[in-house]
Amino acid sequence: MQEFLKILFASGQKGFELAFFILMPIMVFMMAIMRVLDQIGVLRRVAIVAAPILLLFGIPGLGVFAIVQILFVSFAAPASTFRIMDQDGGISDRKIAASFAAILCMSQANATLPLSAFGLNLPVTMGTSLLGGLVAAFLTYRVFARHLPDSLEKTNANEIKKIEKKQSLVQMILTGGEDGFQLVLKALPLLVLAVLLVNVLKAIGAIRFMEGLFGPVLLLVGISASAVLSIITKYIAGGTAMMGATIPMLQDHTMSAGDLNKIAGFMINTLDPVGMAVLVSAGKRFAAFAVPALKGALVGILVRGILHLCIF
């Protein structure tokens, strides 16, 4: 019992350090910047320009905001845009499924931004994320969800303006910073539990067992056996927990930055129990069309994973 308490206290301290000395500065800064860009209309103008192109992949204009939110804010941020899309009768069921597939495939900022401080190649990760998301959306729209009703609506500026709220510059910065701080507070328990899981698995020898079991398969593609823990944590407890498990290994050099970049295409996305639970809760239509979106996202993640293995 005494040994477990030592592990528990050490895990709490490490989780607190991760949350408040690494994650919080990044998230507060990014949320403040994104809030300002949103309110002064930069994101809306980008959405208007990108909408006709994304529409070819089955992603409506509002989907541009969801893409920006997942890449620069957090895995939960697109839920607000999804809620608007779900209630908009002008956006077809088929486009809902395509947008959902794209977001499930893409990397979430709450994992990529902190990990970039430890060697993750951020431009490549975001580039493959966008490419994989477009592949996922296109296949969902054209293949996996082709049985769903569609419409020929065209996205316009009025549609994209729906989520704007005017604030002063100081209010924008304070609101964005507060949102980032709240995200960190919500992530703190999961970070502590993730670090605790890692330390407990180390103490009982489970990590050695898993590395021996799955390590040879990873070595075939040039990935260290130490990456096993990050991958398992990701698909059991989600991206935030994965980050919490991975950063300590990067700090003590159990895992290298090269290994992180190799597995990033498969590992950094929102397709996990936590991400699915948050995004499905955005609306009934997103819950109803999760299966075709899931199929498209799996193909997109496969594309991303292969690209990272080839690049790194």
Q: pTM for this structure?
A: 0.78
pLDDT band at 291 (very low <50, low <70, confident <90, very high): very high
Domain count, the chain: 1
Q: Which pLDDT belongs to residue 34?
A: 72
Q: What average pLDDT score do residues 6-17 get?
A: 84
Chain-centroid distance of CA 46 in Å reads 21
136-147 confidence digits (pLDDT tens)? 999 999 999 998
pLDDT at 64 over 60: yes
> What is the predicted pLDDT for the residue at 159?
52
pLDDT range class, residue 152, cuts 50, 70, 90: low
Does residue 165 carry a pLDDT above 80?
no
The yes-or-no verdict on residue 25 having pLDDT over 70 is yes
Residue 209 or residue 96, greater confidence: 96
Tens-digit pLDDT profile for residues 71-108: 988 887 788 788 878 888 888 999 999 999 999 999 99
- Mean pLDDT lowest for which of 11-15, 21-25, 140-144? 21-25
Closest CA to 10 of 268, 139, 198: 198
Tens-place pLDDT, residues 251-285 = 888 889 999 999 999 999 999 887 887 788 778 89
State which of 134-138, 144-148, 160-164, 210-214 shows the largest mean pLDDT: 134-138
- The share of the chain scoring above pLDDT 70, in percent, equals 93
What pLDDT, on a 0 to 100 scale, did the predictor assign at position 271? 92
Q: What is the pLDDT, as a whole number, of residue 112?
A: 93
pLDDT at 31 over 70: yes
Asked if the model's pLDDT at residue 154 lies above 60, the reply is: no
Section 285-294 average pLDDT: 92
3-state secondary structure of 146: coil
Looking at every residue in the chain, the average pLDDT score rounds to 84
Range of the domain at 203: 2-311
Q: Which residues contact 226 (CB under 8 A, 6 or more apart)?
A: 211, 249, 254, 255, 259
pLDDT at 161: 53
What's the confidence (pLDDT) of residue 104? 96
pLDDT at 305 (0 to 100): 94
Spatial distance between the Cα atoms of 249 and 263, rounded to a whole number of angstroms:
14
By the 8 A CB rule, do 239 and 272 touch? yes
pLDDT band at 311 (very low <50, low <70, confident <90, very high): very high
State what percent of residues in the chain have pLDDT above 90. 29
User: Does the pLDDT at position 200 exceed 80?
Assistant: yes
- First and final C-alpha spacing in the chain: 43
Report residue 72 as tokens: 């620069």
Residue 60 has pLDDT above 80, yes or no: yes
User: 3-state secondary structure string, 39-79?
Assistant: HCCHHHHHHHHHHHHHHCCCCCCHHHHHHHHHHHCCCCCHH
Instruction: Report CA torsion sign: 71, 72, 75, 79.
Output: negative
